[in-house]
Chain A
Amino acid sequence: MAASLELSCWGGGWGLPSVHSESLVVMAYAKFSGAPLKVNVIDNTWRGSRGDVPILTTEDNIVSQPAKILNFLRKQKYNADYELSAKQGADTLAYIALLEEKLLPAVLHTFWVESDNYFTVTKPWFASQIPFPLSLILPGRMSRGALNRILLTRGQPPLYHLREVEAQIYRDAKECLNLLSNRLGTSQFFFGNTPSTLDAYVFGFLAPLYKVRFPKIQLQEHLKQLSNLCRFCDDILSSYFRISLGAFSCVNRYQQQIDFGEVHSHDSTT
């Protein structure tokens, strides 16, 4: 390989290589396409920017945002979609749009806006990954960004109200999960027997929702009823990330070095 590929992203927990959806999408795609990524987990040192993560760095390029990173990897010949037909490629785009429009607002709400979840789980976890005083600022900023995104895309101007949209976004998310479950059926992946971009996106969005332990869990409960989606996540975790389902890593301050195919984590399981 000519260029070395380094990915900066948020770290893992609850059995996942990363708890951040977008980082997870990129990591999954890299595994599926065979791209040799060196993963640098955000930690307590002051290196690099954290707001736009995940970020892919090579010798000459810095690429951010999952869609652009995946495009870049494809141009470097790491293509997980080469077996797909044109129609399947079109379907991929459509389903990704469905995920972003219907599922993402509720996932953002569950992680960043629902106060019980945010204050007891999300904020402490993210704050523990970064040094003081950034740990006081960044989680709040991410939470406001999430709320903004939900309100501006779903709320009604001029006085965007969260209450109006909350019920709607959860309804949409549950419907989206049902649609995904119907579409997946009993197949191993969404298009045949090898995973593709769509599988990376679905995994990235679903796995944190599935695994992270929250106090307020209505969407998680719904997801757990859809056994084929849960099986889909577990299969990818055990085949591509070699994290056994029994080894949950708790919130910790140790750096996790995740090299291609191996996980070293220094912590005790609960």
Chain B
Amino acid sequence: MSLVAEAFVSQIAGKVPFIHVGNQVVSELGPIVQFVKAKGHSLSDGLDEVQKAEMKAYMELVNNMLLTAELYLQWCDEATVGEITHARYGSPYPWPLNHILAYQKQWEIKRKMKAIGWGKKTLDQVLEDVDQCCQALSQRLGTQPYFFNKQPTELDALVFGHLYTILTTQLTNDELSEKVKNYSNLLAFCRRIEQHYFEDRGKDRLS
């Protein structure tokens, strides 16, 4: 089975990432993983029940802290929003749609932050949460090549995706990527995966 992964911005139509398989389209990480598993490929087959529980827990931690922090930084930090996010989010669309959609998305994200209790957090508190999350990931990884020793699993893919994005995306301040850079084993982890699996692509290398 060959997977054709396309990445184009399609905020109205669907959610990235998505895959086309034959005439089926599956979107978002969770369902894609399930779909691939149902087709007979799974990264976490070698794990026992307790390890699978741990893996799911760490994936939720990444979603809970890293993803929310990324969203916070993109949409709730006024400096970043003004300089980068609004322009980037609205860029595929003509005026006035670019402004309308950007404001709508910002409002949506702020509502969500408020519902989960992040509405009143300051940037420093968010960065502290990111630090705590990275510390937990770093401790769990230790000196192993992957989170569950020899073989990469869904967790490794998720962590790599988030950390790589944090490390390579230019924002108004570098504090988020600095927090990640404090943990040398996480940096080494990202470099290792990048070299091992993505060495064909030349752009955007980690410095």
Contacts and interface: CB of A to CB of B under 8 A. Distances in A.
Interface of A: 65, 86-87, 89-91, 93-95, 97-98, 100-102, 145, 148-149, 152-153, 157-158, 179-180, 182-183, 185
A91 B140 contact: yes
Interface stretch (B92-100, B111-119, B189-197): B111-119
Contact of B140 (A90, A158, A183): A90
Contacts of B50: 182-183, 185
Given A148-B115, A152-B112, A179-B56, A97 B140 contact: no
B42 interface: no
B115 A102 contact: no
Please classify the interface of chain A as helix (H, G, I), strand (E, B), loop, or mixed, using the class held by over half of its residues.
Answer: helix
A98 B57 contact: yes
18 contacts: A87-B140, A90-B135, A90-B139, A91-B54, A91-B140, A93-B132, A95-B57, A97-B60, A98-B57, A98-B61, A101-B63, A102-B60, A149-B116, A152-B115, A153-B112, A153-B116, A158-B104, A183-B50
B19 interface: no
A267 B104 CA distance: 53
Query: Top 8 nearest A-B pairs by Cβ distance?
Result: A90-B136, A94-B57, A179-B53, A97-B61, A97-B64, A98-B57, A90-B139, A94-B61
B139 A87 contact: yes
Contacts of B112: 152-153
B137 interface: yes
Contacts of A157: 108
Given A97-B60, A183-B50, 5 more contacts: A87-B139, A94-B54, A102-B60, A179-B53, A182-B49
Interface residues on B, range: 20 to 34
Given A152-B111, A183-B50, A93 B63 contact: no
Given A87-B139, A91-B140, A93-B136, A183 B64 contact: no
B58 interface: yes
A149 B115 contact: yes
B158 interface: no
B53 A182 contact: yes
A101 B64 contact: yes
A94 B57 CA distance: 5
> Max chain A CB contacts within 10 Å: which of B56, B63, B65, B133?
B56
Given A91-B54, A101-B60, A86 B139 contact: yes
Contact of A97 (B52, B63, B104, B111): B63
B136 A94 contact: yes
Contact of A98 (B49, B56, B137): B56
A97 B57 contact: yes
Contacts of B115: 145, 148-149, 152-153
Contacts of A91: 54, 57, 140
Contacts of A180: 53
A179 B139 contact: no
Interface string B4-36: 000000000000000000000000000000000
